[in-house]
Amino acid sequence: MSTGSWENNVRKVVPYTPGEQPKEKVIKLNTNENPYPPSPKVKRILDEYNCDKMRLYPDPDATVLVDAIAERYNVKPSQVFVGVGSDDVISVAFLTFFNSEKPVLFPDITYSFYDVWADVYRIPFVQKPLTADFKIDPANYKCENGGIIFPNPNAPTGCEESLSMIEDIVKANPDSVVIIDEAYVDFGAESALSLIDKYENLLVIQTFSKSRSMAGMRIGYAIGSEKLIKYMNDVKFSINSYTMTPLTQLCGAEAIKDEEYFVNTVKKIVDTREYSKKKLAELGFEFTDSKSNFIFASHKSKPASEIFAALKEKKIFVRYWNKPRISNHLRITVGTPEEMDELFAALKEILK
């Protein structure tokens, strides 16, 4: 085989490692999926879909979906950007707004995709340490920067940050875009959406993957000032105009209109989360006061790595990272009450 120096010019990156998607049947509490199906209105769309329509390209503006999201959040359609899951939306936001020589700031313990996007787009970044109890110290975000992003509630800690603290950070940073990743906000934190009319540099990103049970459909969205959304669309339309399939657009629009189903599903998960906190405490676990659909827990005596491996043996998958500061923690997605009871029974055996 001939060899040349072409590899010197390859964009080399260390990719993000998604949670495992096992082929066999397991109790799957490792990727924060919703244990309940999407709204029955989504099923109706799928049942009635006419495949002939697939000949045509989709609406590049995803108008039905954008309009439905705008209506749900009482904003203008020109304030809504949609993408293929919030991963796609965050990626476009990194490319659009984090375009300076100054470092982008995010917590040291957070969604482990942020440093990967920064890396692939060659964006400098600095990770700011969370406090000992895994909270954001706003003082860390009052220095020169090329942008700020963090989730609320944070992942994988589940900790909520107050709206006043978020506003404090946004107010201190009029020269950069501040992104709040609200993937888990519906499970108990306060959204920063109420601030978008006040700060044109504040972008809020949410997803259909968690509270709306549609991780497999891949729908995420950003809401912010018309200016921010226009800049994101300019970048998106410079890469791929047709990101959302017609079916995705229709299913998403129906799902977001079904408020009653959404409220009920979220309540079931929050109730199971609070029940699970009691059970985990009885088993000797310590954890943050999660406001998300997962619990970030460590055991008083048994190392997390051992519990993780023992659970896997029993075909119960949770998430574990062998990383500084969190290597003795497990992130456990809140499943159905039945799944959680199976988890607790397994933990009881492992810990005895």
Question: Could you list the residues that contact ligand PMP (CB under 6 A)?
Answer: 85-87, 111, 151, 155, 181, 183, 207, 209, 215, 220
- Residue environment code for 312-347, b if the CB has 16+ CB neighbours within 10 A, otherwise e: bebebbbbbbeeeebeebbbbbbbeeebbebbeebb
Query: Between 85 and 146, whose beta carbon lies closer to ligand PMP?
Result: 85
CB of 337 to ligand PMP, least distance (A): 23
Angle in degrees, CA 234, 236, 238, rounded to 5: 70
CB of 259 to ligand PMP, least distance (A): 20
CB of 111 to ligand PMP, least distance (A): 4
| Minimal CB distance residue for ligand PMP | 85
CB of 249 to ligand PMP, least distance (A): 16
CB of 186 to ligand PMP, least distance (A): 13
Long-range contacts of 334-339 (CB under 8 A, 24+ apart): 334/29, 334/35, 334/269, 334/272, 334/273, 334/276, 334/293, 334/294, 334/295, 335/27, 335/28, 335/29, 335/35, 335/272, 336/35, 336/36, 336/272, 337/272, 337/275, 339/27, 339/29, 339/35
Helix axes 337-351, 259-282, angle to 10 degrees: 20
Give the total residue count for the chain: 352
Rounded to whole angstroms, the Cα distance separating 154 from 180 reads: 10
CB of 87 to ligand PMP, least distance (A): 3
Contact status, residue 279 vs residue 94, Cβ threshold 8 Å = no
Query: Between 167 and 182, whose beta carbon lies closer to ligand PMP?
Result: 182
Query: Between 277 and 319, whose beta carbon lies closer to ligand PMP?
Result: 319
CB of 138 to ligand PMP, least distance (A): 19
CB of 339 to ligand PMP, least distance (A): 19
CB of 113 to ligand PMP, least distance (A): 7
Query: Between 215 and 310, whose beta carbon lies closer to ligand PMP?
Result: 215
Query: Between 38 and 151, whose beta carbon lies closer to ligand PMP?
Result: 151
Query: Between 140 and 209, whose beta carbon lies closer to ligand PMP?
Result: 209
Rounded to whole angstroms, the Cα distance separating 288 from 268 reads: 20
CB of 231 to ligand PMP, least distance (A): 20
